Amino acid sequence: MSQPIKANREAPHGASPFMKAKSKLAWPEMGFAVCLLMIAGVLAFAVSSISATVQYSRVGPQAFPIVMISALMVCGAAFVWQAFKGGWRNAEEREEVDWVGLALVGLGIIVMSYSMRIIGFIPAGSLLFVMVAAGFGSRRHGVNILAAIILTTVVYIGLTRGLTISLPEGPIEHLFSALR
């Protein structure tokens, strides 16, 4: 799995003498807990709109989700309580976030999603590649553009010719089919 986990397993509650000192409301955790509760609320509303059809099994499509939504609500309430007691995150998760980098990666996917059908896979994929590279702080845009075009072209030809998977076509891709 690609998710590195932390070496120090969570210390048991009340184990550290510092726990009492920082028994302050943790705002990020509170925000998270409230969001979770709101989502659970919306889901509960959505469950109630599934029309109840009495079935032979007597367990309709609502039963299982109701259990899960209840679990989410109980957990959400517990997180609210934990947030009041100072939150649960350790130093690693409290570290700074590079919002510009994050936004560039996210925007790249949105741009890819909306432009792919119009300008074709190779330019749209290259755009995504360059935006992600910029999000990771690369300033060598020329090198990135070149790498992006080579990669997307190889992927395009490999998948469409080798594996007959169809990818969106634009002017450049039409050129490839014309050359065929």
Site for other proteins in 53-112 (CB under 8 A): 53, 55-61, 63-65, 68-69, 71-72, 75-76, 78-79, 88-90, 93, 95-99, 101-102, 104-106, 108-110, 112
Provide the minimum distance between the beta carbon of 72 and other proteins in the complex, in angstroms, as a whole number.
Answer: 5
In the chain, the largest separation of any two C-alpha atoms, in whole Å, equals 73
Q: Distance (Å, rounded) from C-alpha 140 to C-alpha 133? A: 9
Query: Does 167 interact with other proteins (rule: CB under 8 A)?
Result: yes
CA angle centred on 109, ends 106 and 113, rounded to 5°: 145
Q: Which is nearer to other proteins, 43 or 172 (CB)?
A: 43
Determine contact, residues 127/108, Cβ cutoff 8 Å. Answer: yes
Q: What are phi and psi of 174, to 5 degrees?
A: -65, -35
Provide the minimum distance between the beta carbon of 67 and other proteins in the complex, in angstroms, as a whole number.
Answer: 9
Query: Where do we find the tokens 């998977």?
Result: 165
Query: Does 152 interact with other proteins (rule: CB under 8 A)?
Result: yes
Provide the minimum distance between the beta carbon of 171 and other proteins in the complex, in angstroms, as a whole number.
Answer: 18
Determine contact, residues 132/111, Cβ cutoff 8 Å. Answer: no
| Amino acid identity for residue 9 in this structure | R
Task: Kindly identify the residues of this chain, within the stretch 116-145, that bind other proteins according to CB under 8 A.
Answer: 116-117, 121, 125, 128-130, 132-138, 144
Residue 24 DSSP code: S
Interaction pattern, residues 6-25, with other proteins; x per rule: CB under 8 A: xx-xx-xxxx----------
Query: Does 43 interact with other proteins (rule: CB under 8 A)?
Result: yes
